[in-house]
Structure formats: C-alpha cells, structure tokens
Copies of this chain bind each other. A is one copy, B any other.
Amino acid sequence: MLKELERIAYLVRDAVRALPKDFDRGAEMYMGADGTPTSSIDKVAEDVIFKAVEDRGLEANLLSEEAGLVDRGFEDTLVIDPIDGTHNSILNVPMYSVSLAVGKRSLLGVEHAVLLDLVTGALYKASKGQGATIDGERMSVRSLRSARPATLLYLGRFVHPRTFEIVGRSSRVRAIGCASLEMCLVAQGRFDAYYFNTKVYEKGIRVVDIAASALMLREAGGEIVDLEGKVLDLPFDLAARSNFLAYGDAKTKELML
C-alpha cells in the first residue's frame, strides 16, 4: 500500500511542476465539501489523485478536503489533502505537501501514510507499528532539553490568545502555515511542539489535514492530544474539528497545557 501511495504522491508532484509559471494557483473554483473555497491548485492535485485511484483500482473509499467522502464500497478509506498549505503555494512560501493516509474510521485507525514535500522533495512514510521515515531514514522525536521548547504554532486572525503565552515561554517560534510538514518537523526532532489553538470551532484542524502526519509523529515516538490532554482522535468526517498539541517528549505536554 505504501508503494501505491508513494506513486500517487509523485503523480501530484509532476502535475504541480508542469503548471505554467503564470498559472493562477489561487483562483477559486467552487466551494469545497469542507466549506472553504477550492483553489485551482487543489483541484489539479485532487483530480490527479482521483484518476490514479480509479486507474490503479485502489481498494479504498476516498475522503478529500475538496470532494468530501466518496464511498466506493470498500472497508478502507484513503484520506487525502491534495495540497496541504494551499495558501503557502499561492503566497510563494516554500512549504506545502501532498498528504495521503489509508485506514479505517478515524485518525487512530490510520494504518499507512505518505507525505511528499512539494518544494524540497522530501518523502515521508509510515506504517502503524513499523516506524516512520524521511527519505528512507528513520525519524525520531527529541527529548525536551529545557523548560523553553522550540515551538511551531498556528497563527492567524482566529488565533486563541493563549497562543501568545506559549510564544513567551518558548525558545524559538515559527508559524509556517502547513500543518502536515510542521508535524513532521516535530517527528524529525527539529522542534519540540506544534501548538494549534483557534478561538473559533470552524477553524480547528480536520482529519484530512493531519491524517498522514499524525501517524508519522506517533510512529516517531511523539503524540498528539487535544487541549484537555486526551489522545486526539477524529472520525473520517470533514465536519469534525479540533484544537491540539503535538509533541515529541511527554514532558512538553505538562509544560504547555
């Protein structure tokens, strides 16, 4: 299954690379199933994935940010974010990815995941119980070295004010706008935590955004919890949203929640 997902991810990369330089990546096509507008670059990537799933006869239903759930009569579901970091792609911020995960029912049921960084080409893979890799090398989280974690976080108009406290208590802070790759930076042991707290439920994270990267992080030794500290699970359903803390070392959780 990983090999199949990997092939599909490279098809997306090729399609994005082939876009003309003046292609308007941000053109809004129509309203996506998640209630946000589908940009032209999302549409390009989603079309490639849907076609590949058909062509290759992949035995899975589909859940996508743009199209919603497509029940193809299988037990497994392929959960995709065709482009995670759509706005980075439009804004020329070099962090966006294609995110593919296969499993059953919910985030905790994800069994295989592939993420491809569409700028640097880094390839992330994970299977449940078998670890996670970046470009073939095992990933693992790091231990917390001080009371001041290096923190990634969500920033934007709907940020929860508690986020600003976290900024003051961190050593370094970045807000990059690509949840999947930010999760992978924690999985690689480059950052201690990724803190995501919005004050509006509709701006919380969805399962499509983190289905692949949550498995990467867990397989690298980290965890992802809601802001009450409970292990995060999200059903395969675009309507479910949550805030969360992702971390490498469990001590980070005590420090930040």
Taking Cβ atoms with an 8 Å cutoff, the residues of A that contact B are: 87, 91-95, 119-120, 148, 150, 155-157, 159, 161, 164, 167-177, 185, 188, 190-191
Contacts and interface: CB of A to CB of B under 8 A. Distances in A.
A95 to B, nearest CB: 7
B157 A171 contact: yes
Contacts of A185: 91-93
Contact of A176 (B93, B120, B159, B191): B93
Residue of A87, A94, A150, A190 contacting most chain B CB atoms (<10 Å): A94
Interface SS, A side: loop
A23 to B, nearest CB: 15
Nearest to A95: B94
A240 to B, nearest CB: 24
A177 B172 contact: yes
Contact of A93 (B148, B156, B174): B174
B171 A174 contact: no
A156 B167 contact: yes
Nearest to A156: B173
A155 B167 contact: yes
Contacts of A150: 91
A93 B185 CA distance: 8
Contacts of A176: 93, 174-176
Nearest to A159: B167
